Chains A and B, each alone.
Chain A
């Protein structure tokens, strides 16, 4: 890439407006304060480190090796208080550049100590974000700095290009390691292996995690491996094509949702990093205009900072509504779902725009589009009307009630063959071992088991015609046999499925004996 092209990419790829950046700054501050909740949520709370013994201080190579142990509790209390204050300052755009640098620095220090307790979590993009964005002048609009005339009105787009490069490179390192590790080898299923480990070893079994044990085709598991590697490695070249890069970010958001649903692992802090590339300029146009006077706003900053420091985010109270067996939290899951919905919504808007552009080329195509739409709507209305008024079945239309009765009581039928001398008893039984006679396998006959079940479970009275119909249904199978038909009712209970076997009738080729309670 020559210098001129590099310049074009760096300075012209992303052209934010002051209001767009301001909207993103506000979204960033709210996201961190309300969702990540520093000082209160498990992964952003550094207070417990103060209680750890210095023997557990194992700093990674880097600046943290300048320290010899964990600082005392007041240090982390101060760090969190300053963090909350600088985030609220960012929200109001007060001393924006200083607040951005302070936010990044405080996270860097806090995480530095957290990662000195044995493990590094890869939150670097999130930590660098406020530093990088501070160069964009994201406090140029909708800020106290702007109201007080402390900032210039122009904004820069190159920090977004730099952020794109950082994201692309970071993702590439993840994909490249997988590439070297053999993820593309068709004989291995790396993603499934990690999934099974999370499921069986770590015990992450919420939401769709059970699918890990599903007998899915090997090709699908391999597709996951290839998809993950291509997505991560492809991020780096995509950085140089802004449209494609946004597409990759969209896919990454969906990827994060899938890991939340399947692996029960969330990585929400990256969502706000990807959000830097949302069309904030368009969002800003729809923002309600709130004009805050500088004086009350300056008072609000310490008050809000203290409120977040002492009470945390009111949004995280939602976590109490859902208990997961893993360390998933409802707020983080909802953040993933919301992000995925935004991506899908933007994708649909884009698709609609493209279709419109395409259709606007030919008037005939516009007419055809309208006709197809009308036909589709007509079919849908017809389908809904007919199926809804005919108990879900109006051939060839039908609802698809697969598993819709799961967990509900059910009724089936079984047939037993009695010995010639065996008396017929009408007692309701509860265990399969207590059933009289021996099993009469319906699949060895011409009788359709589903027809039999439907017939014997219908509530109509057992009049002579119905009894004869049943004899005809069995036909030659009754020759020389005595069969007992039982209705089986199953219902879920705390101990498992409770069964009740109710004898309905005893059949021979000539006679039909009915349960006394069913006799007409």
Chain B
């Protein structure tokens, strides 16, 4: 009895736009389907780091978030580093919070060896033709952070 009930609870919570509860006995569904020839759409996040010597260093998001499980990277980027213009809510710009900014600067300092002056978190749309592997990119929006 409990198993179907808790499964129904997941459905209800997610129907209301909420996140999946934990802990519950459910497995991922990977619901999405795909039609032959359809392009693959995704988004890419790059950190453009403006160093004190005026050079710009580009770091992939996976490098910045290394240390945390790889499967978490995409979800964390969407939840904390995503411009409100793309998500529709400033809740996804948590990286602007002072504690998050300090964490990012500490992390970037460890990665680049210097404290950046500014960081641009660049979001791009990706469109890949699965037949040819040709990749098209289109800039979406950028979240700019100044040194805290």
Q: What is the interface of chain A, defined by CB distance below 8 A to chain B?
A: 42-43, 48-49, 51-56, 58, 60-62, 64, 108, 111-112, 114-115, 117-122, 124-125, 127-128, 165-166, 169-171, 173-174, 176-178, 180-183, 185, 187-190, 192-194, 196-197, 200-201, 213, 218, 232, 327
Given the known interface contacts A53-B103, A118-B75, A118-B79, the answer about A173 and B26 at a Cβ–Cβ threshold of 8 Å is yes
B133 in contact with A213 (CB, 8 Å): yes
A56 in contact with B27 (CB, 8 Å): no
B94 in contact with A55 (CB, 8 Å): yes
Q: Quick one: closest B residue to A127, CB to CB?
A: B23
Q: Does B56 contact A (CB under 8 A)?
A: no
B34 in contact with A196 (CB, 8 Å): yes
User: What's the minimum C-beta distance from A283 to chain B, rounded to whole angstroms?
Assistant: 28
B34 in contact with A190 (CB, 8 Å): yes
User: What's the minimum C-beta distance from A192 to chain B, rounded to whole angstroms?
Assistant: 6
A42 in contact with B69 (CB, 8 Å): yes
Q: Which residues of B contact A327 (CB under 8 A)?
A: 70
A189 in contact with B68 (CB, 8 Å): no
User: What's the minimum C-beta distance from B68 to chain A, rounded to whole angstroms?
Assistant: 6
Number of residue pairs A-B, CB distance < 8 angstroms: 160
Interface residues in B23-38 (C-beta closer than 8 Å to A) = 23-36, 38
Q: Which residues of A contact B95 (CB under 8 A)?
A: 55
Q: Does B113 contact A (CB under 8 A)?
A: no
Q: Which residues of B contact A171 (CB under 8 A)?
A: 27
Q: Which residues of A contact B68 (CB under 8 A)?
A: 48-49, 52, 117
Q: Quick one: closest A residue to B102, CB to CB?
A: A53
Q: Which residues of A contact B99 (CB under 8 A)?
A: 53-55
Q: Which residues of B contact A119 (CB under 8 A)?
A: 71-72, 74-76
Q: In the complex, A233 Cα to B5 Cα: how many Å? A: 18
Question: Among B14-22, B46-54, B137-145, which stretch is in contact with chain A?
Answer: B14-22
User: What's the minimum C-beta distance from B21 to chain A, rounded to whole angstroms?
Assistant: 4
Residue interface bits B71-106, CB-to-A below 8 A is 1, else 0:
110111011100000000000001101011011000
Q: Quick one: closest A residue to B107, CB to CB?
A: A51
A117 in contact with B72 (CB, 8 Å): yes
Q: Which among B29, B67, B135 is the interface contact of A178 at CB below 8 angstroms?
A: B29
Q: Which among B27, B34, B97, B126 is the interface contact of A55 at CB below 8 angstroms?
A: B97
User: What's the minimum C-beta distance from A249 to chain B, rounded to whole angstroms?
Assistant: 14
Q: Which residues of B contact A56 (CB under 8 A)?
A: 76, 79-80, 94, 100, 103
Q: Which among A108, A180, A197 is the interface contact of B23 at CB below 8 angstroms?
A: A108
User: What's the minimum C-beta distance from A70 to chain B, rounded to whole angstroms?
Assistant: 11
Q: Which residues of B contact A176 (CB under 8 A)?
A: 29
Given the known interface contacts A51-B103, A118-B75, the answer about A193 and B33 at a Cβ–Cβ threshold of 8 Å is yes
Q: Which residues of A contact B70 (CB under 8 A)?
A: 42, 327
Q: Which among B13, B27, B35, B135 is the interface contact of A188 at CB below 8 angstroms?
A: B35
A173 in contact with B100 (CB, 8 Å): no
B42 in contact with A197 (CB, 8 Å): yes
Q: Which among B13, B33, B67, B69 is the interface contact of A121 at CB below 8 angstroms?
A: B69
User: What's the minimum C-beta distance from A259 to chain B, rounded to whole angstroms?
Assistant: 11
User: What's the minimum C-beta distance from B20 to chain A, rounded to whole angstroms?
Assistant: 5
Q: Which residues of B contact A170 (CB under 8 A)?
A: 25-27
B31 in contact with A180 (CB, 8 Å): yes
Q: Which residues of B contact A218 (CB under 8 A)?
A: 36
Q: Which residues of B contact A213 (CB under 8 A)?
A: 130, 133
Q: Which residues of B contact A196 (CB under 8 A)?
A: 34, 40, 130
A–B complex contacts, Cβ < 8 Å, 18 sampled: A53-B102, A55-B80, A56-B79, A62-B22, A119-B76, A121-B69, A122-B26, A122-B28, A173-B10, A173-B26, A173-B27, A192-B34, A197-B42, A200-B130, A201-B126, A213-B130, A213-B133, A232-B27
Q: Which among B27, B32, B75 is the interface contact of A193 at CB below 8 angstroms?
A: B32
B26 in contact with A190 (CB, 8 Å): no
User: What's the minimum C-beta distance from B141 to chain A, rounded to whole angstroms?
Assistant: 19
User: What's the minimum C-beta distance from A262 to chain B, rounded to whole angstroms?
Assistant: 14
Q: In the complex, A189 Cα to B42 Cα: how many Å? A: 18
Q: Which residues of B contact A52 (CB under 8 A)?
A: 68, 103
Q: In the complex, A188 Cα to B32 Cα: how many Å? A: 10
Q: Which among B22, B67, B103, B130 is the interface contact of A120 at CB below 8 angstroms?
A: B22
